[in-house]
Amino acid sequence: MRRSAPSPLSRLGALVLALALVCTAAAPPLAAAASPAADSGTDRLVNGSVTAAQQEAPPDPDSDVIGWEDGYWHNESIDVDQSDGLSDEELDAYVARAMARVEYLREAEFDGEVPVSVITREEYRNRSSGGGGGDANRTEYNRWNDQVWEGLFIVGESTGSGDAIGETTGSSVLGFYSPTRDEITVVTDSPDSPTINNATLIHELVHALQDQRYDLTNETYRASTQDGDLAIDGVVEGEANYIETNYAQRCGEEWECVDTPQAGGGGGGGGGGPNLGILLTLLNPYSDGPVYVNEIIEEGGWDAFEKRFQDPPVSSEQVIHRTDETPRPIEFTDEGTNGWSTFPRDNPRLGQNGSDTVGEASIYSMFWYQAREYQADTINPNGLFQTSGPYDTYNYDSEPSNGWANDRLFPYRTGEGDDAEYGYVWITEWDTETDAQEFHDTYLRMLEAHDVRETDRGYYVVPDGPFADAFLVRLDGERVTIVNGPTVEDVRDIRPTLEPAQADTPEDGDGTDATATATAADGDDAGDDTGDNADAGDDTSGTTEVGGAGFGFGVAAVAVAVAGILARRRR
């Protein structure tokens, strides 16, 4: 739904642009401002929905003003009928009035036109295709990103993360705004008679206004981690959904709005359908962002929001909980042996020094997805729908994800080509020991949903299924460290100085990896990985300080008609 400037596309894959949740939740009306044209009275029914009565246009102003654009006031009626598609003349009027309405709601002026073009869904799929299937055609980024989503227990080893993301988003794209081309592109199955949903048009025009005012190609609106992307989108997509929601509130009451014909079929075109864990992660800025924006505006008006937009949040925690708490720095040293190593730390596409920060929103999505799809004893999945305000679509607040202080997930690999194997080290920091314990215990209960077995040396083994692997899960005060590899021996090679807590006491038996029922490990202090506030080292030493999150979602922004999809999947 926004920027198409080059960016790391980190964590959410080459196809993940930004989702615009077409939100129709009721919202309280804004304080009424003086309008250039008075309402004409009664409402009327059109195609079964209430719309405001026709409104006459007052004279055009002598100069461009907020709420008037290219000959149209924000509250005047236009002669546009989408039942047979939009003609060029209808499209011009439709876009011009929509721009005037965005100006009126945002209290800001467009400084130039916003072209709207149309492409077919097939053309869009060709443009956004990430290349052929199979390991031989997968990029280094995809292999790296696979470990991030596998670490989140959202995309298993049998499915590439790029494929899973593409199946989740690609078939529902309605349109996107490109800052590099300064235009909105509508994706349609009927290019000769296109239609545009009101909410999609308003949402993308907000991004166009943002781009004209702040330049969305600026480095400020890119980050190098998944959580940084979600945080920045908290204001970028949050403002767009905030305006969109207030626009929807006026349709039929205060404003006459163009009716959008129901689409037939929807352009699904095969595939396995959406991965709800990916979808829920992507939707976080569209749900919590408008709440965040609304609270800023209520406290300090648009001036306060503009300051925040120019200095966006750095973690999804800041958006979820409206806090200025910054992520705690984490020092990390690569200890891989026997061929195991991190991915290149100097490749800007591979996160921050070869690692990613998934953040609180993604951790919530992990526990929700595992509860929903695998009946894991993590969180109540219906808690997602327990929201408390008119701008809030989903609830990302849970005990095992609250108290997040920072995390870094370092994907590992050994070997080349078809012989390559992968793993990761995921270090999580928590505000208190209680928060760390809650995450630790919930994570182990999640493993139990996959028939995990604990070895007599304190490692965990998931024997089969999409997440089959060996794990070390170590609790140390306010830190939980997770090490993953294909076998217990691989886990030891990836992090040789880190042992399970039980390993600090004499072992029974001969030390072989016999299996037992999974239990939570008691926490002792780890031998390393304790330098929370150490200075950053250089890459040649293998030590880096990885601090706060920060990067932006990628090349373009897409509007996806996914409103209610999670609710429909509710058990």
Q: 374 vs 44, which has greater pLDDT?
A: 374
60: left (phi over 0), alpha (psi -120 to 50) or beta: beta
Instruction: Label the pairing between strands 116-120 and 183-188.
Output: parallel
* The predicted structure's pLDDT at residue 171: 64
Instruction: Label the pairing between strands 460-462 and 469-476.
Output: antiparallel
List the beta bridge partners of residue 331. Answer: 545
Residue 139 has pLDDT above 90, yes or no: no
Of 326, 234, 274, nearest to 533 by C-alpha is 326
Of 147, 158, 428, 149, nearest to 277 by C-alpha is 149
Q: How far apart are CA 182 and CA 385, in angstroms?
A: 36
Examine residue 166 and state whether it is found in any structural domain, yes or no.
no
Q: Is the dihedral of CA 272, 278, 279, 280 positive or negative?
A: positive
Please report where in the chains the tokens 């292999």 appear, as a residue: 143
Q: What is the DSSP string of 64-104?
A: --TTEETTEETTS-----GGG---HHHHHHHHHHHHHHHHH
Q: What is the DSSP string of 257-313?
A: ----PPPSS-S--SS----HHHHHHHHHHHHHHHHHHHHHHHHHHHHHHHHHHHS--
**What is the tally of helices (H) and strands (E) in the chain?**
12, 19
Examine residue 276 and state whether it is found in any structural domain, yes or no.
no
Torsion of CA 342, 345, 350, 354, to 10 degrees: 50
- Residue count of the chain, please give it: 571
Q: In which domain, by residue range, is 346 found?
A: 319-529
State the DSSP H helix or E strand holding residue 176, giving kind and residue range, or none if neither: strand 173-178
State the average pLDDT over residues 491-508: 76
Q: Are 556 and 20 within 8 A, CB to CB?
A: no
List the beta bridge partners of residue 472. Answer: 483
Q: What is the DSSP string of 309-342?
A: HHS--SSHHHHHHT--PPPPPEEEE----TT-EE
Q: 282 vs 555, which has greater pLDDT?
A: 282
* The predicted structure's pLDDT at residue 62: 83
Residue 265 has pLDDT above 70, yes or no: no
> Please, how many CA atoms are within 13 Å of residue 535, restricted to the half-sphere of its CB?
3
Task: Calculate the CA 347 to chain-centre distance.
Answer: 22
Angle between helices 161-169 and 276-310 (to 10 degrees): 80
Task: Calculate the CA 143 to chain-centre distance.
Answer: 20
- Split at pLDDT 50, 70, 90, the class of 560 is very low
Examine residue 147 and state whether it is found in any structural domain, yes or no.
no
Of 365, 344, 367, 369, nearest to 354 by C-alpha is 344
- Split at pLDDT 50, 70, 90, the class of 550 is very low
Please report where in the chains the tokens 């089969």 appear, as a residue: 464
DSSP state of 355: B
- Split at pLDDT 50, 70, 90, the class of 136 is very low
Examine residue 154 and state whether it is found in any structural domain, yes or no.
no
Give 393-396 contacts, CB < 8 A, sequence gap 24+: 393/21, 393/23, 393/25, 393/283, 393/286, 393/287, 394/280, 394/283, 394/284, 394/287, 394/288, 394/566, 396/284, 396/287, 396/288, 396/316, 396/320, 396/360, 396/361, 396/364, 396/365
* The predicted structure's pLDDT at residue 248: 93
Number of structural domains (the chain) is 1
Q: How far apart are CA 524 and CA 503, in angstroms?
A: 10
Q: 140 vs 27, which has greater pLDDT?
A: 140
Q: Are 423 and 147 within 8 A, CB to CB?
A: yes
Examine residue 294 and state whether it is found in any structural domain, yes or no.
no
Q: Are 245 and 391 within 8 A, CB to CB?
A: yes
State the average pLDDT over residues 127-133: 52
Query: pTM here?
Result: 0.80
Please write the tens of the pLDDT for every residue from 44-73: 333 334 445 456 777 888 888 999 999 999
Examine residue 183 and state whether it is found in any structural domain, yes or no.
no
Neighbours of 562 (CB within 10 A): 19
Instruction: Label the pairing between strands 469-476 and 479-485.
Output: antiparallel
* The predicted structure's pLDDT at residue 55: 64
Which of 95-99, 200-204, 367-371, 554-558 shows the lowest mean pLDDT across its residues? 554-558
Phi and psi dihedrals of 412, rounded to 5? -125, 160
470 CB burial (10 A radius; 0-12, 13-18, 19+): buried
Of 558, 404, 389, nearest to 478 by C-alpha is 404
Neighbours of 63 (CB within 10 A): 6
Residue 353 has pLDDT above 90, yes or no: yes
Residue 220 has pLDDT above 50, yes or no: yes
Q: What is the DSSP string of 217-250?
A: TSGGG--SSHHHHHHHHHHHHHHHHHHHHHHHHH
Examine residue 420 and state whether it is found in any structural domain, yes or no.
yes
Phi and psi dihedrals of 424, rounded to 5? -165, 160
Examine residue 455 and state whether it is found in any structural domain, yes or no.
yes
Longest CA–CA span in the chain (Å) reads: 91
Q: How far apart are CA 35 and CA 55, in angstroms?
A: 12
State the average pLDDT over residues 2-7: 32
Alpha-helical (H) ranges within 342-396 are 359-374
Instruction: Label the pairing between strands 19-21 and 558-560.
Output: parallel
Cα separation values, 273 from 134, 165, 167, 367, 507, Å: 20, 10, 6, 20, 48
Q: Identity (one letter) of the amino acid at 503?
A: A
Residue 532 has pLDDT above 50, yes or no: no
Most confident range (mean pLDDT) of 137-141, 248-252, 406-410, 524-528 is 406-410
Residue 536 has pLDDT above 90, yes or no: no
